[in-house]
Amino acid sequence: MTARSPRTIPGPHPDPHRPVAFTPPPNACDAHCHVFGPAERFPFAPDRAYTPPDSGIDSFESLQERLGLSRAVFVQASCHGTDNAAMVDALKRGNGRYAGVAMIDDSFSDDDIAALHEAGVRGTRFNFVAHLGGAPDLETFWRLVGRVQPFGWHIVLHFDGKDLPAYAGLLDAMPCPYIIDHMARVPVADGVDQEPFRALLDLLTDERCWVKISGAERLTADGPPPYDDVVPFARALITAAPDRVLWGTDWPHPNVRHMPDDGDLVDLLAAFAPDATTRNRILVDNPETLYDFG
């Protein structure tokens, strides 16, 4: 039997509009985005589930200029596996404006982790999402958490919403701050009273827990914008923990049903947080708490 070839996914919106709902403040941060390739220089992982088109640092910096953002957190995606070279290259290009979240495994030595830290990495990510391979081996998970804790890193966790309640015990045992990606990917059609979202709100009573109000294009029941059905969820999370909420575009948007315009996603933040002081906290102050830019 031959191995199944990874599917090819589309690239990001070719011409996103500039934000119109508000002007991002100085040092505004896209706290969840990726760099893919260029594959000729930074090959994709052989066992990847999907193959994206090249969406490297040059394209990203053009997007930042268009959106009026100046800082970023690059999150290692599964298509590059544990080869963090493309991300590290992007961090070096940023000269202090960017931070990173790596993916690692047991092959990484303490010196390897220290080198990532020196480059600007401040966390490691674990996928628990079914279509990306499902939950990691938990013995390995805890071993790696223990390896990065001395560096002051946090843990980024990518869950399917329906699975979140089952991991309450794991999260309660976390020895360091952790971030729940993409509002835990809850199905918004089920409403804010659904068990997975209540579980997420309960987690935010713990000072270790952070959440990203990203991924509206994934959560919406409608597909295309304006993503109005996601707004009550983001507002509830902001109300629960305004000092532990991050926002990001998720550019270049792997594995989405409908490719968003990143200008729409910036504008959506004005609906999530109509108050400029709260928006500035989400865009500037909160990222500065976790990432020592500059």
Average pLDDT over residues 182-200: 96
- Identify the three-state secondary structure at position 9: coil
Helix (H) or strand (E) holding 148: helix 138-148
Signed CA dihedral, 32, 62, 266, 7: sign only: negative
Which stretches does DSSP call E strand in 53-151? 71-75, 98-102, 121-127
Nearest to 104 by CA among 72, 131, 136: 136
Determine which of 3-17, 85-99, 181-195, 222-236 has the lowest per-residue pLDDT on average: 3-17
Q: What does the alpha-carbon distance between residue 168 and residue 160 come to, in Å, rounded to a whole number?
A: 13
Active site residue 250: yes
- Per-residue confidence at 33, pLDDT binned at 50, 70, 90? very high
The pLDDT mean for the chain works out to 95
Residue 160 — pLDDT band, cuts 50, 70, 90? very high
**pLDDT band of 4, cuts 50, 70, 90:** low
**Strand 98-102 to strand 29-33: parallel, antiparallel, or no bridges (unpaired)?**
unpaired
- Rounded CA-CA distance 3/283 in Å is 43
- In the chain, the percentage of residues whose pLDDT exceeds 70 is 98
Q: Which pLDDT score is estimated for 223?
A: 82
Label residue 2 by pLDDT band (50, 70, 90): very low
Give every CB contact of residue 14 below 8 A, 6+ residues apart in sequence. none
Q: Of the residues 181, 250, 262, 267, which is catalytic?
A: 250
DSSP strand E in 79-192: where? 98-102, 121-127, 154-158, 178-180
257's tokens: 């049903």
Q: Are 11 and 46 in contact (CB under 8 A)?
A: no
Q: Does the structure show a pLDDT above 90 at 247?
A: yes
Reported as a pLDDT band with limits 50, 70 and 90, residue 1 is: very low
Residue labelled with tokens 């990306």: 132
Paired with 71 in beta bridges are 29
Whether 282 and 238 have beta carbons less than 8 Å apart is answered as: yes
Residue showing tokens 């304006």: 226
Q: What pLDDT digit, counting tens, does each position of 168-177 carry?
A: 999 999 999 9
Q: Domain segments of the chain: what residues? A: 25-289
CATH topology of domain 25-289: TIM Barrel (3.20.20)
